[in-house]
């Protein structure tokens, strides 16, 4: 590639001679990124496509510049730029050499490689810069296989990861210019917050979707890009239509237990193919599979999982259902927040031998921390009895007394058989989990 072409592309993306609008700051991620950077390890920013990884990297670059780092000591390369043409390790080395010659960085360098999975062998480049202490390296990717196999062994002990998710509801409110300062402010703005929750339920939390009007069109583009760029292009997929059909099936059935055996018959694909395709979709961050809680790892592996969509907007785009599905949408939102806070290997569902169910078992350590039911309409006596019976049974078996039912609007606390059960509206629970709204804990 010609040197002049590379300089032109780098000038367009970097802060050497001009400023860039980096959007609305996502402070929680910026703080985490700064803390990870203190270790001087290679920082890997992962997450579903369009969740805001590139924007967060740009926001962090601006913070570095505000801390008096010379912009020419910072290199940002966006491998989504089609002008780069063919991608190779040779191109990556050429880009870096052109940067050194053109920008002439004088002090510590910061190198940001965005969507780096397009470059085969990038990990060797990153490791070399790291070990020679030439630069601190930040990379991003939209597929978790970025850190598996040979790559993982090359970077063992040299990298730390940050996973970026679509906006959680508290961030969504900030993007909508709603700030909640205290409990009185919460009461004053509750109607607006509930109204925005309905939008969040329907269209999800991708940052640009939140800000733009053409939401369905953008969501359709996101779905196609995730499947085509982060699943199909990085794999050998024999049947493209089948994997798109499988993705649609999972999104439509978010919150439900799934069986690979049943899906195999329904999709007319082998069990092995269904398992592989499902894993590819999970690697691309489109889905999460939650296992049944059991103290036996063997039982966890052999029982059905519950599938959740990374974003309600994508789920609704594919399923064409909304009004009659609020319960499932509530559950999907709760699942994503719990997974973000604790990690999906710490979140389970529970089922008794007599089929009583608990939506979420939160077990971040050696003991179960909380049992959560999601019930959109708790006013129905039969529904309430079912949810409470399951909680009491699970509480006894799992030795956990922290019992919660997430509802649409009902807020209360009841004591049954010496067990205290809290009922909390979803909108308020989502804010309670935010670091910005700690006053709700009081």
Residue 218 Cα to chain centre, angstroms? 18
Predicted model pTM: 0.93
Nearest to 154 by CA among 112, 188, 123: 123
Using an 8 Å Cβ cutoff, are 306 and 290 in contact? Answer: yes
pLDDT, position 323: 47
Using an 8 Å Cβ cutoff, are 46 and 161 in contact? Answer: yes
First to last CA, the chain: 60
Query: Within 10 Å of residue 355's Cβ, how many Cβ atoms?
Result: 7
pLDDT, position 320: 59
Handedness of CA 226, 229, 230, 232 (dihedral sign): positive
The whole-angstrom separation of Cα 131 and Cα 358 is 48
The whole-angstrom separation of Cα 45 and Cα 117 is 12
pLDDT, position 295: 82
Using an 8 Å Cβ cutoff, are 305 and 258 in contact? Answer: yes
Q: For 270-332, where are the E strands, in sequence order?
A: 287-290, 305-309
Handedness of CA 380, 429, 281, 320 (dihedral sign): positive
pLDDT, position 296: 76
Using an 8 Å Cβ cutoff, are 72 and 83 in contact? Answer: no
Question: Phi then psi for 210, rounded to 5 degrees?
Answer: -60, -35
Domain extent listing, the chain: 3-164, 169-441
Query: Within 10 Å of residue 119's Cβ, how many Cβ atoms?
Result: 22
User: Which fold is adopted by the domain 3-164?
Assistant: Rossmann fold (3.40.50)
Question: pLDDT tens digits for the chain (442 residues)?
Answer: 899 999 999 999 999 999 999 999 999 999 999 999 999 999 999 999 999 999 999 999 999 999 999 999 999 999 999 999 889 999 999 999 999 999 999 989 999 999 998 898 899 999 999 999 999 999 999 988 776 655 566 777 788 999 999 999 999 999 999 999 888 999 999 999 999 999 999 999 999 999 999 999 999 999 999 999 999 987 878 789 999 999 999 999 999 999 999 999 989 999 999 999 999 999 999 999 999 998 877 777 778 899 999 999 999 998 855 445 889 999 999 999 999 999 999 999 999 999 999 999 999 999 999 999 999 989 999 999 999 999 999 999 999 999 999 999 999 999 998 899 999 999 999 998 776 556 556 4
């Amino acid at each position: 590639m010609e040197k002049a072409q590379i300089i032109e592309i780098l000038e367009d993306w970097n802060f050497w001679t001009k400023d860039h609008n980096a959007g609305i700051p996502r402070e929680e991620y910026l703080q985490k990124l700064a803390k990870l950077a203190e270790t001087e390890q290679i920082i890997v920013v992962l997450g579903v496509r369009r969740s805001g990884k590139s924007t967060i990297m740009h926001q962090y670059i601006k913070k570095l510049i505000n801390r008096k780092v010379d912009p020419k000591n910072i290199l940002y390369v966006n491998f989504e730029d089609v002008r780069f043409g063919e991608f190779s390790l040779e191109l990556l080395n050429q880009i870096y050499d052109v940067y050194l010659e053109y920008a002439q960085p004088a002090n510590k360098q910061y190198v940001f490689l965005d969507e780096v999975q397009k470059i085969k062998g990038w990990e060797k480049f990153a490791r070399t810069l790291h070990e020679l202490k030439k630069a601190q390296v930040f990379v991003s990717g939209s597929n978790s296989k970025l850190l598996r196999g040979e790559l993982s062994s090359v970077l063992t002990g040299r990298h730390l990861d940050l996973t970026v998710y679509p906006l959680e509801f508290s961030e969504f409110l900030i993007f909508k210019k709603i700030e909640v300062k205290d409990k009185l402010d919460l009461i004053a703005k509750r109607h607006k917050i509930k109204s925005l929750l309905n939008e969040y339920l329907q269209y999800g939390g991708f940052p640009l979707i939140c800000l733009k009007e053409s939401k369905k069109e953008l969501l359709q583009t996101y779905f196609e890009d995730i499947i085509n760029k982060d699943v199909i292009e990085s794999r050998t997929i024999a049947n493209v239509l089948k994997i798109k059909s499988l993705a649609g099936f999972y999104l439509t059935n978010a919150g439900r237990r799934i069986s690979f055996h049943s899906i195999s018959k329904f999709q007319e694909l082998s069990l092995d193919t269904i398992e592989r395709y499902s894993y590819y979709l999970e690697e691309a961050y489109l889905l999460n599979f939650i296992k049944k809680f059991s103290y036996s790892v063997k039982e966890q592996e052999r029982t059905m999982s519950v599938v959740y969509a990374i974003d309600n907007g994508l789920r609704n785009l594919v399923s064409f259902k909304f009004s009659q599905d609020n319960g499932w949408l509530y559950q999907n939102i709760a699942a994503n927040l719990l997974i973000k806070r604790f990690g999906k290997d710490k979140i389970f569902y529970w089922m008794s031998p007599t089929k009583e169910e608990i939506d979420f078992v939160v077990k971040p350590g050696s003991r179960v921390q909380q049992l959560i039911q999601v019930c959109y309409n708790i006013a129905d006596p039969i529904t309430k009895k079912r949810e409470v019976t399951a909680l009491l049974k699970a509480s006894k078996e799992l030795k956990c007394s922290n019992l919660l039912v997430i509802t649409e609007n009902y807020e209360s606390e009841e004591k049954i058989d010496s067990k205290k059960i809290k009922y909390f509206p979803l909108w308020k629970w989502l804010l309670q989990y935010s670091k910005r709204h700690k006053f709700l804990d009081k």
